[in-house]
Copies of this chain bind each other. A is one copy, B any other.
Amino acid sequence: MSPAAADAFTALASDRGGLARSSTAERVADIMRERITDGSLAPGSRLPEDAVGSALGVSRNTLREAFRLLVHERLAVAEFNRGVFVRRLTRDDVIDLYRVRSLVECAAVRRAAEATPAAIAAMRQAVADGEQAAAAGRWPEVGTANMRFHQAIVALSGSPRLDEFMRQVTAELRLAFHVMENPRAFHEPYLSRNRDLAALIEAGDGVAAERQLATYLADAERELLATQPA
């Protein structure tokens, strides 16, 4: 195991909360999901059972349950008899992820007229948060706000299952962001497009919003692919 990975693991140990409300395996999965999506555990990293297990103070059985969850969410891959690794996205993965986003998000904005006021408000808030974070130069937060904006778009549809599915799609896409060298340059230009899009949605012009979002996502996909290794 690389030293960097070891640091990430030992860092996990302190995260263990005292109370065991949900199952241990789920809490372990939560912690590791966090570390994977925030980039502490880079794509391709190996996740050895005993190193991670001892770092978090859980048994192999419990850890394996957590691994199984992460594999199911596509944040990790399990190679039979070889171990578990942080997922490394291929170009085809990125293409598929944007295909899903385009289909679902476009459909959601087109039906935005039926959305609840709370969902609209959440979307507007995400736009404002992104602009505020950019003004203050807090670039990681800009990326976070951008993701919340898109999650808010999905929430316009009012479907818990679609929400969760797209949350997973977003988490997976973050794996691609972390191999980028300059996330700031990637997210910044979309701030104004987010505002324009939100305005169209609030105005009830679903058709125009959908068209704008389609080109938005196509641009983002192209730019992201340009940053990815072969």
A-side residues, CB < 8 A to B, are: 22-23, 25, 61, 64-65, 68-69, 72, 78, 80, 96-97, 99-100, 103-104, 106-108, 111, 157-162, 165, 169
Contacts and interface: CB of A to CB of B under 8 A. Distances in A.
The 5 A-B pairs with the shortest beta carbon distances in the complex, nearest first, are: A107-B107, A99-B159, A103-B107, A61-B61, A100-B161
Contacts of A25: 68
Most-contacted residue by chain B among A22, A111, A162 (CB, 10 A) = A162
B159 A169 contact: no
Q: What's the number of copies of this chain in the assembled complex?
A: 2
28 contacts: A22-B80, A23-B78, A23-B80, A65-B68, A68-B68, A68-B69, A69-B72, A72-B72, A96-B159, A96-B160, A96-B161, A97-B161, A99-B157, A99-B158, A99-B159, A99-B162, A100-B159, A100-B162, A103-B107, A103-B108, A103-B157, A103-B159, A104-B104, A104-B107, A106-B107, A107-B107, A161-B169, A165-B165
Contact of A64 (B22, B65, B111, B157): B65
A104 B104 CA distance: 7
Contacts of A169: 161
Contacts of A96: 159-161
A106 B103 CA distance: 10
Contacts of A104: 103-104, 107
Nearest to A172: B161
B68 A162 contact: no
Contacts of A157: 99, 103
A109 to B, nearest CB: 11
